[in-house]
Structure 1
Amino acid sequence: MTRTLAATLLLSTALCLPAAAAAKPSAREAKAFIAEVEENYEQLWEEAARIAWLKATYINFDSNWLEAKINAELTEIAVEYANRAKDFDDTRVSDDVRRKLNILKQSITLPAPTRDGAASELAAITSRLDSAYSTGKIDFEDEVVPQNQTEILMRQLRDPAKLEEVWTKWRGNSVQMKQDYVDMVEIANAGAKELGYDDLGQMWRSNYDMDPDAFAEETDRLWGQVEPLYTNLQCHVKYRLNEEYGDEVVPLDQPIRADLLGNMWAQSWGSIYDLVAPPTGDSESINLDEILVAADYTPLKITQTAESFFTSLGFDPLPDTFYERSQITKPEGREVVCHASAWNLDNVDDIRIKMCTEVNADDFRTMHHELGHNFYQRAYNKQPMLFRGDPNDGFHEAIGDMITLSITPEYLQQIGLVDEVPSADGDLALLMNEALEGVAFLPFGLLVDKWRWQVFSGELTPETYNDGWWALREQYQGIRPPNERPADAFDPGAKYHIPGNTPYMRYFLARVLQYQFYKAACDQIGWEGPLHRCSFYGAEEVGEKFNAMLEKGNSQPWQDSLELFTGTREMDASALVEYYRPLMEWLEAENEGRQCGW
């Protein structure tokens, strides 16, 4: 996750101000307008970003107040600019100016309508939603457990009753969010309509250099490429969980209980690897959790190791201020947002990460991912203000994800974490471990925004929010809740990105682009072995071409940037399918005769 210009300014809530009636404006006026916008945002950027950082790393009444105030101010400006940009729709302007005008119109996450007080009301709602999630706690075994520790419990517990307890209690926190969420949808939808969209979902889908309906079809096409792989993985996991827990807990003719998959949201299943692992032959599988602890890794050392991956590609080291100002571990004595994110506070080089890092494999990979955001942010910092971002919001997420694929046994040997690389007969284990993260996530990455699109369009009403959520989770993931959900449940709010109002389709696109970028990098170094064995650590030729794409920021359509690095203009999941081909063949053999599907 990253906080960029789009996230802090253009993606803030905003008050729609009616555009003044005027004669058709000229190209010169359009250019002057863009210059005014970029100059103003240059001045506003740092104040807004530092307040957002303060709120995320020191949650209290005052930081909430400051964030709500600056958001209300900024949002009035953001959609005033969006409405003024509409005035130039029929004006002939240069390609760069047209792209910047479109960015102003399309990049607002939560617009508010014209009525007095709407922007302040919306800003207050979003601040409350964010804080309600971040400060949520549960009582478990006579202890008060904060949000980040509930995630650890879901990874470590194996008793179905205790898993159900933690899972259910965490969702109890989100009940309080529902009315705020309902009000937020009503206000933001009204704002989207004033900007000329049918609803907020259409507005979100318009930001992909293609028709909004065509974009929805594109996501379905990509899902179709990977669905057979996911279906086989889900079937295998269901049967192994049945062997572990029995028919009463895991009946083979039903979707899998969501609390049994080692993750609070059943979006990644790596924590149950030991229950579903394939045979490793004579090769011992790598337990990175144990290796990191044995090697005396600390959160700081994890951060430095991730940085070294990028410098091995030829990128300059992070500035000293990164280590001085980042939140690498959870501070004592104050409430913070532990959800990992990367920040650029001055839009130049005050780049930071915010994590509550633990010494484990998950956070080792997450740190590589988050630094991908930071190096991307610095790469495009010489672009004009409105082009400092990614051309497709899947790009930012894919950059770090691409690096995590290069965390192969060969890479771990190169940095001294393992002495010997396991033989090829352990590759199925490696691929299963990766698939429990990269493949298991795919349908969840798709359905979160599909749910929101249905909410924004009115297809789902507040009374059917929860039923619609679980219908999509069963349809795409083949999972179900562990118990009957109460009438007032708001289970979507148990996932940060819903109360945090962060569009989620970027994560689905990132999974596809991750493998597409990765294969392109491996092709560039002339890799001839199985794709999953490739590591481009130390390949400066990859870094040079990679940086050339990153430097473009949002200055051109994503199709142009994709072509610059991969040679193709279409997102394509075939690299992902190729990566997991050996595992897919094994899964198909294992699943023969089983009752797959749901």
Structure 2
Amino acid sequence: METVAIGFKCFIYFCVFIIIRANDNERFNGGFNTNLDDALRFLNEYDIEAANMCFRVSSAQWAYSTNMTDYNKRRMIEEQTLQAKFDKITWKKAAEFDWAKISDPIARRQIRMLTMNNRAALSDDKYNEIYHLISEMKDLYAHVRICPYVTDFNESVSIYCDLEQNDAVKIMADSHDNLELLHVWKEWHDKSGPVMKNKFMRYVEVANQAARINGFQDASEAMQFTYESAEFEDNLAQTIHQIMPLYKELFTYVRSKLYAKYGSEIIRIDGPLPAHILGDLWGQEWGNIYDLVIPYSGHGTVDVTAELLRQGFTPLRVFQMAEEFYTSLGLKPMPPEFWRYSMIEKPNSRKVQCTASAWDFCNKMDYRIKQCTEVDMKNLIATHHEMAHIQYYLYYADQPFIYRDGANPGFHEGVANAVILSVFNPTHFYRMGLSRNRTDIYENNINFLMLMALRKVAYAPFAYVVDQWRYQIFQQGVTKMNSEWWKLRLRYQGVVPPIPRFESHFDAAAKRHIPADIPYVKYYIALLLEFQIHKAMCTAAGHTGPLHTCDIYRSREAGRVLIDILKVGKARHWQDVVKMLTRGKSDKLSAEPLLEYFEPLLEWLKQANKYEKVVGWMSNKKDVALYQPLVYSKSNRNMVDIYNLIVFSVIAYKSSLVLNI
């Protein structure tokens, strides 16, 4: 038997050796062409052809988004398929060069960007496979429908399970009914993730293959390569460590308020929070529970919707107000094509996608916003936000096509959100005649900072965790995808699932960015950058006083700081751009401006929490058992949360649903 075992081991080692050699043969080691003239000729051709392809795809996507017909959808898919083929051809041409030996540093960087971190290195079959896997997962996600929560079940009444994501998001935002929230949370997570789990597992395998061909250990390393910094992960880890004391104070205060609302059956006073009661389908940001946690009820709010309506604002006037904000800083007015082609209001004659978005048609003159504008504060803020993206497009338009982007993937959102810190601001609303609330009242300021913290500080650990999980899956495999997801969320967010979850579930995929192959760490980076940029603009504007009261409106000095960032695009390393922002003091991402912004709230929270036994959360075996049920022995199974099982029995009866708990 021992001889057989040794022989079997040798056979296994031989197979592994063959596989490794096969993978080594497949690895891309770079081309041999080092001729600078050839490289410059290729890059010039790419610049023209890529811009043309971008125009074609953007035009087809715009046509479908603003007129959702089957014909426009087919045309969009055709153009997207052509773009995938174009990317494949571009990679093959770029791969002919040995970029490390190109003498010109600009050409060297551009060819490196086109060659590395590109799935076009895969064989045609596998390239098409991963392209279709992602498309199929996105399609599955788009077609998720859930059943409504039914309180008065009647056998004669049919239940139509036709609620979409927007419906689920609205219920989670508006309802404070634990049973309804629990039902919607479970429905969405049960119906979104498991149907695509096998496809995602194959996607992980192929994405890792592509990364290894390009010289990376796995796809996580390829994702991080985009940031062109060996210190990238350490920098991010340092910033989340900086934020955690503020987050834990906010968490503790929110928990005490939710405990008062829902009681000990739902929340343990020193423990983590269940994900379904945070006002959001994913528990990522908590702004929708502001009414439950407001520090000083009865004091001024920041909602200016009523005043907008009283003054007779129209969607066009909202856009004009946003444009005037930017021109007051010395930035560019919107070009004629913008006003001619943008979709400012929802048309009555056709079906459209109403999600607000800014568009660059890559021809250096056509820029648009698509938005079904209503006259309210939300749309006022959204319009300023989207117009910030248009300003970015306008200023880097003269860069080569490969550099027409943010300095790193977080910069576009970081810039737009930095502007919003001045727009969604009691000081600015007062200056614009939209609010009569005094800005020097302490209670008003704490209320405002609490709302901002629920949106920004509460979001930080979630934005950090998503790609930490994704990196871990690429590195370690897919065997414990669900438990690892909740393990990270408990560690950084103090959030647990409201009911037991198993590996048959796939709760990370309840967030669209996972199946859609959209990197998420850029949103965490954007969060840091928005406060860094805001701080730099406020300093340039000569602002004195608390950072949260700064409004850069009409400051040409602040505008110059913004212009310097925008016109660079991606032509310079993002750390050089950060160094510009900090006037040479640092080239790193930092949480210090964020902490400065919320400093008055932090002091208030410390006082509010001074009698709390635990600032933060303590986890125990019961919490872990919610996502690792097998950690309990048979004798300890009574530790599983019986309350949640009873709750879902009630929901099953009321909704006549078959639940596999």
TM-score (norm 1): 0.88
Alignment-derived partner of residue 593 in structure 2: 575
C-alpha separation between the residues in 2 aligned to 1:235 and 1:245?
A: 15
Q: Which amino acid aligns with 2:431?
A: Q
Give per-residue Cα distances to partners, 1:150-189, cap 9 Å, x unaligned.
Answer: 2222111111111112222222234322233223222222
Pair 1:266–1:297, CA change in 2 (3 A): farther
Alignment-derived partner of residue 636 in structure 2: none
- Higher mean C-alpha displacement, 333-342 vs 500-509: 333-342
- Higher mean C-alpha displacement, 76-85 vs 441-450: 76-85
| Cα contact 2:364–2:397 (8 A) shared by 1 | yes
| Cα contact 1:326–1:354 (8 A) shared by 2 | yes
Pair 1:145–1:294, CA change in 2 (3 A): farther
Q: Which amino acid aligns with 1:114?
A: L
What is the CA-CA distance between 1:437 and the residue it aligns to? 0.7
Pair 1:148–1:297, CA change in 2 (3 A): farther
SS class of match (2:499): coil
C-alpha separation between the residues in 1 aligned to 2:504 and 2:375?
A: 38
Pair 1:175–1:520, CA change in 2 (3 A): same
Correspondence for 1:100 among 85, 110, 115: 110
Pair 1:22–1:300, CA change in 2 (3 A): closer
| Cα contact 1:134–1:337 (8 A) shared by 2 | no
C-alpha separation between the residues in 2 aligned to 1:131 and 1:373?
A: 27
Alignment-derived partner of residue 114 in structure 1: 122
Alignment-derived partner of residue 616 in structure 2: 597
What is the CA-CA distance between 1:496 and the residue it aligns to? 2.3
Alignment-derived partner of residue 11 in structure 1: none
Q: Is the counterpart of residue 543 in structure 1 residue 562 in structure 2?
A: no
Alignment of 1:106-255 (within 5 A): 106=116, 108=118, 111=119, 114-140=122-148, 144-171=162-189, 172-211=191-230, 214-255=231-272
Alignment-derived partner of residue 351 in structure 1: 367
Alignment-derived partner of residue 43 in structure 1: 52
Pair 1:78–1:539, CA change in 2 (3 A): same
Alignment of 1:45-444 (within 5 A): 45-57=54-66, 65-82=74-91, 84-86=93-95, 87-106=97-116, 108=118, 111=119, 114-140=122-148, 144-171=162-189, 172-211=191-230, 214-279=231-296, 283-288=299-304, 301-328=317-344, 339-355=355-371, 361-406=377-422, 407-425=424-442, 426-444=444-462
Pair 1:348–1:533, CA change in 2 (3 A): same
What is the CA-CA distance between 1:432 and the residue it aligns to? 0.7
From the CA coordinates, give the structure whose radius of gyration is larger. Answer: 2
Q: Number of residue pairs matched?
A: 576
C-alpha separation between the residues in 1 aligned to 2:252 and 2:234?
A: 26
Q: Which amino acid aligns with 1:392?
A: N
C-alpha separation between the residues in 1 aligned to 2:504 and 2:43?
A: 47
**Unaligned residue ranges in structure 1 (runs of 5+):** 1-16
C-alpha separation between the residues in 1 aligned to 2:167 and 2:524?
A: 26
Pair 1:497–1:21, CA change in 2 (3 A): closer
- Higher mean C-alpha displacement, 439-448 vs 245-254: 245-254
| Cα contact 1:30–1:93 (8 A) shared by 2 | no
Alignment-derived partner of residue 33 in structure 1: 42
What is the CA-CA distance between 1:31 and the residue it aligns to? 1.7
Alignment-derived partner of residue 510 in structure 1: 526
Q: Which amino acid aligns with 2:291?
A: D
| Cα contact 1:78–1:104 (8 A) shared by 2 | no
SS class of match (1:551): helix
Q: Which amino acid aligns with 1:45?
A: C
Give per-residue Cα distances to partners, 1:459-512, cap 9 Å, x unaligned.
Answer: 241x42222211111111111122223553222222222222221111101111
**Unaligned residue ranges in structure 2 (runs of 5+):** 1-25, 150-158, 618-661
The percentage of counterpart residues that share the same residue type is 31
Give per-residue Cα distances to partners, 1:242-296, cap 9 Å, x unaligned.
Answer: 011111122223311112111122111111112112237x952333455556656
Alignment-derived partner of residue 7 in structure 1: none
SS class of match (1:39): helix
| Cα contact 2:28–2:121 (8 A) shared by 1 | no
C-alpha separation between the residues in 1 aligned to 2:376 and 2:37?
A: 56
Give per-residue Cα distances to partners, 1:88-144, cap 9 Å, x unaligned.
Answer: 233242222122123213464xx1553343333332222232233334333325564
Pair 1:152–1:299, CA change in 2 (3 A): farther
Correspondence for 1:491 among 488, 502, 507: 507
Pair 1:388–1:267, CA change in 2 (3 A): same
C-alpha separation between the residues in 2 aligned to 1:336 and 1:364?
A: 20
Q: Which amino acid aligns with 1:182?
A: M
SS class of match (1:353): strand
Give per-residue Cα distances to partners, 1:338-361, cap 9 Å, x unaligned.
Answer: 554322123423223345556554
C-alpha separation between the residues in 2 aligned to 1:378 and 1:38?
A: 17
C-alpha separation between the residues in 1 aligned to 2:588 and 2:210?
A: 32
